[in-house]
Structures are given as structure tokens and as C-alpha cells.
Structure 1
Amino acid sequence: MDDHQQFAADCAKEIQAQADDAEFRQLSRAWMDRAQQLRYSYHFEWMGRPIIQYPTDILAMQELMWRIQPELVIETGIARGGSLIFYASMMQMLGRGEVLGIDIDIRAHNREAIESHPMARRIRMIEGSSLDAAIVAQAAAAAEGKKVMVVLDSNHTHEHVLGELERYAPLTSPGSYCVVMDTVVEDMPASLFGDRPWAPGDNPKTAVHAWLKTHPEFEIDHAMDAKLAVSVAPHGYLRRRA
């Protein structure tokens, strides 16, 4: 076993120790509840645009993109565009590929900021419901013949996420990932979500578990959950079997 292999083996043992440490898991959950109250995830930018993600999940997506070397990332939910720019910057480092962002409402000031960004040449945006058949068809056409990753991060209700999984997860290439964001809603107090239409019992994680019952070609990457500990997407890193 060479040095790199030994380091990886040591990390695997340490990650399993994290997963087995009940106190560590409880502290992580308590920290996330407090962080949600303080809107922690809103306070980071990527190359000048708000990304609205936890740093741990940003690192996880970087690891996956470097490992998978995708030619296309499809993301539902654009918000202020930081995640599109992040994925595009990774594509720039890979020397190929593009990002397709889909959102029901791309606000003019956000569109302008994204389209004027240095990474814009690797970004394409479509405005409309991610569940609309014509928009799904455009995504499918863009994905044809390419190595694809999918990120679902728009409306977080069970019904909507289930609809997105049915439509977009099949575009994920074997060995690649469909990442469902904000599954952590299921694990948090309902009081943290105010007047949002999602809550414990009705959220991305409930959709993931319902959908997986009939889609054995996908599996939850529990090792990723154990490694991150603090993540908006527990049980949301879905690997398509090779």
C-alpha cells in the first residue's frame, strides 16, 4: 500500500468513526438548527455571487465533479446564480462542458449579473417550471450523449421534488450523481421554515425515500453523509450505479 492509499484508508476509518460517534452527530445537528436561525448559508459567495450553500457541500460537489469529469451539470433552482458560477468554474478547470440552469423565475438583476460574469460562456439558463414537459425536453436534448450530473434545488415540497426526480434523475449518467439539496428539512424543527410550503414530513428527503423504492439503479452515498456531518443534503447524494 503506497502513501496515498494509506492516507485514504486512514480517512475512511476516521469518517466511519464520525458516523459512529453519537455525540458528534448530535452536536452537528444542534449546530445546524442554530445556523438555520441565523441564515448561515446565505453568507457566502463564489466568484462574487451569493451561492447560498454550506461550505461542506461546496467542497463535496467539487470532489464529485473532479472525480466524475462531467460534460454537463443540470441544476434546477438558480436563485442568485452563485452555484451556477461555481459549477461553471469547475467546468473551466476541467477544460470542457457547460451548466444548464432552470428556474421558474429568473429575476432580471440576477440574469444580468450571471450573463455578465466571466464564467457566463459555460452557462445556459432556461426560465420556466422544471416540471414543464417542454423544459424537460430541452434538458434531455442538452444531456444526450454527455456525461451528466444533476442537482435539484428549487421548490422543496415532496410533490415537486418527486416530480423532478422522475424527470431529471434519469438524465444522470451511470457512475455519476443526482444531488437533492435541502433534504435536511426533514431533520429540523418545523418552526425554522416559517411560511414556506415545505416542512418535516413534506420535503426533499421524504421525496427521495419514496422515489428510491422504485429506482434501485440509484443509491444513497452514506459515506458522503458521514464525511460531511454538516450538510443541507443528508441522504441527498444519490449515486447512479455504474
Structure 2
Amino acid sequence: MDPIKAFIKEREDRIRTQGENVRIRETALDFTAQSMRSQYSYNFSWMGRPIIQYPQDMVAMQELIWEVQPDLIIETGIAHGGSLIYYASLLELIGGDAYVLGVDIDIRAHNRAEIEAHKMFKRIEMIQGSSIDQGIVAEVVKHAKGKKRILVTLDSNHTHDHVLEELRLYAPFVTKDSYLVVFDTSVEFAPDDLNENRPWSVGNNPKTAVDAFLAENGRFEIVKSIDEKLLISMAPGGYLRCVRD
């Protein structure tokens, strides 16, 4: 067998075996829960901007972006802008004129200033407003027009109702063989006391929204191999591949 193909097959077999390993999965789940308690995801930055993501998910997103080589990445939820900068930097390496479109209900002035001053801002556009507002979605439609490969990530309000509406509104933008990634599905598996004074909780979060969405939409499938590979992730069951036009 060709050595490159042999390596890829070996890796696929190892990932599958890892996914079947109950002990490592339980250990990973425990780490995830405890690291959420310590706000582990706040420890990292990309090119100077806080990214508020787990490194494992960053690597997974790099793999997907390189695979798809999208013309447009749509992200709901901007926060400090680290993910926008990260995705933009990957698109810069790929080349062409692709860019990232960020949507957030509240782009704080100090974050906007830092994003706009960044070297990667040339590949970033931002829209302020609720991601589920029809007027905002209409603006996103304008950006998506004519794009052949679109990837979407959802990381804004984490309640079931909000994420389910986002899924319904933004899934149509995702092109076949690209991805729709829903972050913070991990809320469903975390100690519920972590969500005190928040509108989301166990039973009311992105994971429950994904489950409801998949029951009504046949275009997407969970990429289980990503969960098996990462083990530690803020998006377990949230990596969705578009398998139909």
C-alpha cells in the first residue's frame, strides 16, 4: 500500500479504536467538565486576540477549513474576535479573496477597535444585531450570494430556542460537503451548577437544539470521527457535515 494511504488508514483505525475506549472517553468527559469550571477556554489567544476556544477545536476547525477551502465563513458570536482572526488567518494562507463574516448582537467598542486594527481585518466583515433577526439574516444573504463554498459556525446565545432558530436560518447557507459547527453542545454534559444565572442549562442548550434540528432536517449528519479524534471539545456532537444539496 502507498505509505501515505497506509498512514491515513492507520490513523483512521486508531481514532475509531480511541472512540470505543470507555476509560479514555470518561476521563476526557471529566476533564472537560472540570476545565469548564476553571474557565480553561479563556486561557488562549490567536495572533494577539482572546479566542475562548479549546485548542482541540481550533485544530479541528483548521482541518475542516483546509478541506473545504470556503469562499465565505459565517460565524455567529464574535466576543473578543479571536475566532474571526483565526479563521481569517487560515483563509489568508489559503489565498484568494475569501473572508469571514461575523454576526453579534453586541460588538463592544473596544473589541471592534482591536479587530479593525488587526492585520487580518482585511478578510473580516462584521454585522451587529441578533443573528436570528430577519433583517440581519437578509444582510447575510447578500454576503452569501454567488459563493460556491460556505462554512458556518454558531457560537452566540446558547439556549435551545435560539440555537435551533439559528440552525434553521443558517443551515441553508452551508454548501454540500461543507460543515455547520455548533459550539457549546458541551453544556449538556457539564455540571448544571456551572450554568447558574444563565439562560441555558442541561436540557436547554445547543446540543438539544442540534438533536431537534437533525430530526427535522436531512441535509446534515454528525461527524462522529471528529468527536472520537478530539475527545476533549466544546462541540461534542456539534460537528455537522452537509451531505445533500
Structure 1 residue 237: deviation in Å? Answer: 0.4
Supply the distance in 2 between the matched residues of 1:65 and 1:47 (Cα, whole angstroms): 18
Q: Shift in Å at residue 194 of structure 1?
A: 2.2
The reply to whether residue 93 of structure 1 matches residue 93 of structure 2 is yes
Alignment match, 1:65: 65
Please list, as runs of the form range in 1=range in 2, the aligned pairs for 1:85-124 lying within 5 A after superposition: 85-96=85-96, 97-124=98-125
CA deviation digits over 1:94-118, x for unaligned, max 9?
1120000000000000000000000
Spell out the pairing of 1:164-203 with structure 2 (5 A cutoff). Answer: 164-203=166-205
Q: Distance in 1 between matches of 2:33 and 2:133?
A: 34
Aligned to 2:207: 205
How many corresponding residue pairs?
242
| Alpha-carbon shift at residue 37 of structure 1 (Å) | 1.1
Q: Tell me, yes or no, if structure 1 residue 39 matches structure 2 residue 25.
A: no
Q: Deviations over 1:221-240 (max 9, x none)?
A: 00111101000001100000
> What is the Cα deviation at residue 134 of structure 1?
1.1
TM-score by length of 1: 0.99
SS of the residue 1:208 aligns to: helix
Q: Which amino acid aligns with 2:81?
A: G
Report percent identity of matched pairs: 52
Matches of 2:100 and 2:41 in 1, distance apart?
A: 22
Q: Is 2:188 the partner of 1:215? A: no
Please state how far the C-alpha of 1:17 moved relative to its aligned partner.
Answer: 1.1
Q: Quick one: which amino acid aligns to residue 159 of structure 1?
A: D
> How far apart, CA to CA, are the structure 1 residues paired with 2:25 and 2:230?
11
Contact 2:18–2:229 (CA under 8 A) maintained in structure 1: yes
Deviations 1:10-64 (A, max 9, x none): 0111111111110000000111111111110000000000000000000000000
What is the distance in 1 between the residues matched to 2:37 and 2:200?
16
The code of the aligned residue for 1:51 comes to I
| Structure 1 runs of 4+ with >2 Å offset | none
- 2:208 aligned partner, one-letter code: T
Once the two structures are superposed, the pairs formed by residues 132-147 of structure 1 within 5 Å of their partners are 132-146=133-147, 147=149
Distance 1:46 1:134 in 2: 31
Structure 1: unaligned runs, 5 residues or longer: none
RMSD of the TM alignment (CA)? 0.7
One-letter code of the match for 1:32? T
State how far apart, in whole Å, the 1-side matches of 2:145 and 2:180 are. Answer: 16
**CA displacement at 1:140 relative to structure 2:** 1.4
The residue matched to 1:119 in structure 2 has which SS? Answer: helix
Offset at residue 144 of structure 1 (A): 1.6
Deviations 1:210-230 (A, max 9, x none): 011111111000011110100
Aligned partners of 1:42 and 1:162: how far apart in 2? 26
Residues 25-36 of structure 1 aligned to structure 2 (within 5 Å): 25-36=25-36
Which residue is 2:54 aligned to? 54
Distance 1:141 1:125 in 2: 13
The separation in 2 between residues aligned to 1:52 and 1:194, in whole angstroms, is: 20
- Structure 1 residue 145 displacement after superposition: 2.0
Q: What TM-score does the superposition give when structure 2 sets the normalisation length? A: 0.97
